[in-house]
Amino acid sequence: MKLKRVLIVGGGPSGSSCGITCARGGLETIVFEKGNPYRDKTCGDTIPANQKTLANLGLIEGVKKRSFLVDSALIHGFSGERVEIRTPMMTLQRSVFDQFLRDELESRGGKVDYGVNIKGIKISDEGVEITDSSGLNYEGDFVVLATGANVSLARSLGFEYSDNPVFALRTYIENVNKLNSNYFWLFRSETNLLGYAWAFPSPGNILNVGVGTRGKDAKLKSKLENFLQDKKMIIGNSGNLTEPKGAPIRIGMRNALNYGSRVILVGENINCAYDLTAEGIGPALESGYLAGKALLGFKEGGDSLKDYQEKLVRKREEFYKGYSQIANLVRSRYGNKLFLRILNNSEKMRVTFGDVIQEEKPSKNIFPMQSLLNFL
Ligand SMILES: Cc1cc2nc3c(=O)[nH]c(=O)nc-3n(C[C@H](O)[C@H](O)[C@H](O)COP(=O)(O)OP(=O)(O)OC[C@H]3O[C@@H](n4cnc5c(N)ncnc54)[C@H](O)[C@@H]3O)c2cc1C
C-alpha cells in the first residue's frame, strides 16, 4: 500500500504530535480542526515539567518558557490529611499550548485546516475519503482519529467503547493568594465514587480550578461552587474569570485493537487519560508520537502498526493498571487514610510517586504489594 498523504482529524495534543512526527518524516500531513486558531479546550492545563514526548519532539523548552512552573503537588485526603510530593509540573492554558503545537506542525511542513468539522469517513482498498459538515470531501492514504473524548467517528468505523465514566468541570479565578504549588483534594461523591478537586497556578496570575468525578449525575456545578467556598481560605476567590465549562474524560486505555485498515486511533480515542489523576495530555502526546512513528515505519513496509498496539499494551500494564489500583484503594475511607499515611511516613514512597508522575518509573511501583504488607 502506498502511504503518502495522512489525514488527521483533531488538532489537540495527540493530533499535533502525530502530525509533527509524520511531517518531519516526509509524509504529506493535513490536520482538520473544527475549532478556530487558539480554540479553548476544557482542561486543568497541567503536565509534568519533564514530559517525555515534548522532550523527544524538541519542544519542551518552548512549552516551559510559556508555562507557570511549580516544583510540588500537595495532595489532600478525605479528612484533610495532606502530603507533599516533590515533582516539577507546568501549567499552560490549552488555548496557548495547543496552538504552540499546531504552529510547530506547520513550521515543519504540515498543514492545519481550521473550522473544518469532519462528519464522515469512507475507507476502501484504494484509500480514505473524509467528509466535512458542508459536504466537502478530502482524500488521503491513511486517517488518524484524534478527536478527543468524542469518539463518534471511531464508533462509525466499528471501534467499540464502554460508557465514559469521568466528567470534570473547570473555571479560572485570580490567583490572589499567589499559590505556587499544584493543589489536589480527593473527596467521596454521594454515590461513594472517587472525586477530586484541583487548583493549579497558571501564567498571568490565574488559577485553574475544577472538580471531577465519576458518574453522569455528578452535580458538578454545585460541587465546584461548594469547593470554591470551602477552600476560600487557601485558594482565595474573587469570582470566576470565565464561565465554568465541563467535559468528559476517557480514562483507562482501551483494551482492544487500536488500528484498522488505513485508520489508527490516538489520544482519548484510545481512552488515554490515567485513572486517579485523569492526566491525559502527556499520554495523548505520546500516543500521537508513537502512531506517527508507526506510520513512518509502515511507509517503509514494516509491521509497525502491530508494534504500535504492542507498545500500548505494555503501557497499559505498566502505567494504567497501577493508577487504577490506587484509585480503587483511595476511594474507600480506610484506603484513603492508608494512602496518605503511607506517603507521609515514607520519603521513599513520596520520591517514587514523584518519579511515576514524571514517568521515570511505572505506576505499579507506587505501592508494590510487599510495601503494603510491610506497612500493615
Ligand atoms: C476538566 C478537565 C480537566 C483536565 N485536566 C487535565 C490536566 O490537568 N492534565 C492533563 O494531562 N489532562 C487533563 N485532562 C484531560 C485532557 O484534557 C485530555 O486527555 C487531552 O486533551 C486529550 O488530548 P486529545 O488530543 O486526545 O484530544 P483533545 O485535546 O480533546 O483534542 C481533540 C481535538 O479534536 C477536535 N475535533 C473533535 N472532533 C472533530 C471533528 N469531527 N472534526 C474536526 N476536529 C474535531 C477538537 O476540537 C479538539 O481540538 C482534563 C480534562 C478535562 C475535561
What's the CATH code of the domain at 32?
3.50.50.60
Q: Which atom of ligand 1 is nearest to the CA of 281?
A: 11
Q: What is the pLDDT of residue 10?
A: 98
Q: What is the pLDDT of residues 3-18, one digit of tens each?
A: 999 999 999 999 999 9
Query: Which residue lies with its CA nearest to atom 31 of ligand 1?
Result: 12
The model's pLDDT over 106-138, given as tens digits with 9 standing for 90+, comes to 999 999 999 999 999 999 999 999 999 999 999
Asked if residue 56 belongs to a domain, the reply is yes
Phi, psi of 52 (to 5 degrees): -70, -40
Assigned domain for 97 exists: yes
Share of the chain above pLDDT 70, in %: 95
User: In whole numbers, what is the pLDDT of the chain averaged over residues?
Assistant: 93
For the stretch 303-312, pLDDT in tens is 899 999 999 9
* Residue 77: inside a domain: no
**CB-ligand 1 contact for 33 (6 Å cutoff):** yes
pLDDT of 215 higher than 80:
no
**CB–CB of 148/267 below 8 Å?**
yes
Pocket probe for ligand 1: among 8, 41, 87, 113, the residue whose CB has the most ligand atoms within 8 Å is 41
Query: Tell me, what's the pLDDT at 150?
Result: 96
The CB of 278 under 6 Å from ligand 1? The reply is yes
Q: For helices 333-345 and 347-357, what crossing angle results, to 10°?
A: 100
Pairing of strands 68-76, 82-91: antiparallel
Shortest-distance Cα residue to atom 52 of ligand 1: 43
Is residue 105, in this structure, part of any structural domain at all? yes
pTM of the model: 0.96
User: With 70 as the cut, is the pLDDT of residue 217 above it?
Assistant: no
Ligand 1 neighbourhood includes 182 CB (under 6 angstroms) = no
Q: Is residue 124 one of the residues assigned to a domain?
A: yes
List pLDDT tens digits, range 310-341. Answer: 999 999 999 998 888 888 889 888 989 999 99
- Which 3 state secondary structure label does DSSP give 187? strand
**Ligand 1 and 42: CB distance under 6 A:** yes
The arithmetic mean of pLDDT across residues 193-205, rounded, is: 94
Q: Which residues pair with 235 in a beta bridge?
A: none
Integer Cα distance of 101 and 282 in angstroms = 13
Q: Please report the atom of ligand 1 found closest to the CA of residue 246.
A: 1
Predicted pLDDT at 372 = 60
With 60 as the cut, is the pLDDT of residue 154 above it?
Answer: yes
C-alpha 256 – ligand 1 centre gap (Å) = 21
* Average confidence (pLDDT) over 269-279: 93
> How many Å lie between the centroid of ligand 1 and the Cα of residue 54?
17
Largest CA-CA distance found in the chain, in angstroms, rounded: 63
Pocket of ligand 1 contains residue 10 by CB under 6 Å: yes
Task: Give the total number of structural domains in the chain.
Answer: 1
Asked if the model's pLDDT at residue 204 lies above 60, the reply is yes
Rounded distance between C-alpha atoms, residue 291 and residue 275, angstroms: 22
282 lines ligand 1 (CB under 6 A): yes
Q: With cut-offs at 50, 70 and 90, classify the pLDDT of residue 376.
A: low
Any ligand 1 atom below 6 A from CB of 35: yes
What is the residue range of 270's domain? 5-60+93-162+250-321
132 lies in some domain: yes
* 259-260: strand order across its sheet: 111-114, 28-33, 5-9, 142-145, 263-265, 259-260
Q: Residue 194: pLDDT band by 50, 70, 90 thresholds?
A: confident
pLDDT confidence of residue 368: 65
- Give a yes or no: residue 167 inside a domain: no
* 153 alpha carbon, distance to own chain's centre: 19
Query: What confidence score (pLDDT) does residue 241 get?
Result: 86
Distance CA 128, CA 189 (A): 45
Q: Is residue 207 part of a domain?
A: no
12 Cα to the center of ligand 1, angstroms: 6
**Which residue do the cell numbers 504488607 mark?**
373
Atom number, ligand 1, closest to the C-alpha of residue 200: 8
Identify the pLDDT of residue 303.
83
Say if ligand 1 is within 6 A of residue 249 CB: yes
Cell numbers of 263, please? 485508520
Convert the pLDDT of each residue in 222-266 to its tens digit.
999 999 999 998 999 777 889 999 999 999 999 999 999 999 999
Q: Is residue 164 scored above 80 in pLDDT?
A: no
